[in-house]
Structure 1
């Protein structure tokens, strides 16, 4: 499960800002973000258990990120790993990418619940396989977690509001402020907790933007910036179960014109 905050044409310098947390069991083997040896145009982390990823970008500017939908009782053990959806998009050809929404719709029953962000600087979309819905992201600020786009969850509202305020008042972007947004570990009040079918203790634990516990929590935070010159900045910070920072991966490149 992950959370994404996305600003489209809200900052004077950066038409696209994505701030994201990856939440996962700490024991799940993971490789930090890097250019993949067998796909050197792709920058992403790797889920070593299933082989996919939760978020990545291609040197041609194609972007994709995944969040699981929290739906106890609807999970199927034999479902295909959702992490391949991100890689399939990033690894596809231009013509294939244009038809990706059709591919997602046709294959939606093969996967457990998910939202998939995909597209590029010109246009991003969010596909939800439970609803079989495709939403284009117009100019604005969005939050995406483990329900539908902009669900009225406290942590979605908190992160969206913080990102919107920052875009309006920051002529020079300091990524530290975005990482502070992602490190917000304040839980929601019980009265505001969503009812997703998990025990109340889990609802409380999962209600903050940054999740900390011994077994499950925020494993990494990633900030992705694309400026008007199509220069990409990607920074990932990883954390241990005590929420202590363990590593930083920083990459910059110019989007290759097709």
Structure 2
């Protein structure tokens, strides 16, 4: 993904609310939100070129999400694997703590830059692999934004979607605000003013294009807006809206993944 807004509220009926946009080349083959044929306990969209994902969840109440770090000066190891495999591996590993610790101790250097979020109803981890920093932290309760830098780096589109989620959470009836207000912010195609743009080394024209929460383009743009809730019992509900070239709407899927293994995915 390239933009995420999330509310982490452990100890409440809904510990995690998360919404994000995946920006990608429209020609890259992708499977829509569904149960994975090779791992039916996992649901998510899937990159058919490398086999990974940007947002997926596993029965039992585990969620993983990924954003790339945009930094042309970051050293890319030869033969670096797809970062999307991190999402799949997070959901397949037997011990999340041990797996993430190994990555934070150097295993993540096999990949180019990324942010990985992994959540259960009780814990939320953030692993950042940047040019000058490799760090694993447990996220404190709060509302956050994440794009192609570090957690809560104050890029205009990040602030826009994070503020929308903060406004949603103060409403008396959350069902009136979630996901609508955050969705509108996520799907806003307005570019940021030049003076507010970050400088990630890609040039002014591309910085302008990438500053929009929802990127509209013929070859590259926002391919999906996805949102999910994770409740205290480990039940997950996820929705994915898909888009083609020039922002053309291509469909929507909603799946409920109950924590109870005796209940079907619906």
TM-score class normalised by the smaller sequence: over 0.9
Q: Which residue of the partner structure matches residue 206 of structure 1?
A: 210
Tell me which stretches of 4 or more aligned residues in structure 1 moved more than 6 Å.
none
| Runs of 5+ consecutive residues of structure 1 not aligned to the other structure | none
Separation of aligned partners in 2, 1:142 and 1:34: 27
Matches within 5 A, 1:96-107: 96-105=95-104, 106-107=106-107
| Match in the other structure for 1:117 | 117
- Spell out the pairing of 1:163-174 with structure 2 (5 A cutoff): 163-173=165-175, 174=178
Structure 1 equivalent of residue 195 of structure 2 = 191
Match of 1:158 in 2: 160
Q: Distance in 2 between matches of 1:212 and 1:114?
A: 23
* Alignment deviations for residues 27-58 of structure 1 (CA, whole Å, 9 cap, x no partner): 11101111011100000111111111111000
* Structure 2 gap ranges (5+): 262-266
The residue aligned with 2:23 is 23
In structure 1, distance between residues paired with 2:172 and 2:209: 31
Query: Displacement, 1:138?
Result: 1.4
Report the TM-score, using the length of structure 1 for normalisation.
0.93
Q: Is 2:238 the partner of 1:238?
A: no
For 2:241 and 2:136, how far apart are their aligned partners in 1?
A: 30
How many residues get paired? Answer: 255
| Larger CA deviation: 73-82 vs 145-154 | 73-82
Q: How far does residue 136 in structure 1 lie from its aligned partner after superposition?
A: 1.6
Counterpart secondary structure, 1:115: strand
Q: Do the aligned partners of residues 10 and 202 (structure 1) sit closer, same or farther apart at CA in structure 2, a change above 3 Å counting?
A: farther
- Superposition TM-score, scaled by structure 2 size: 0.90
Secondary structure at the counterpart of residue 210 of structure 1: coil
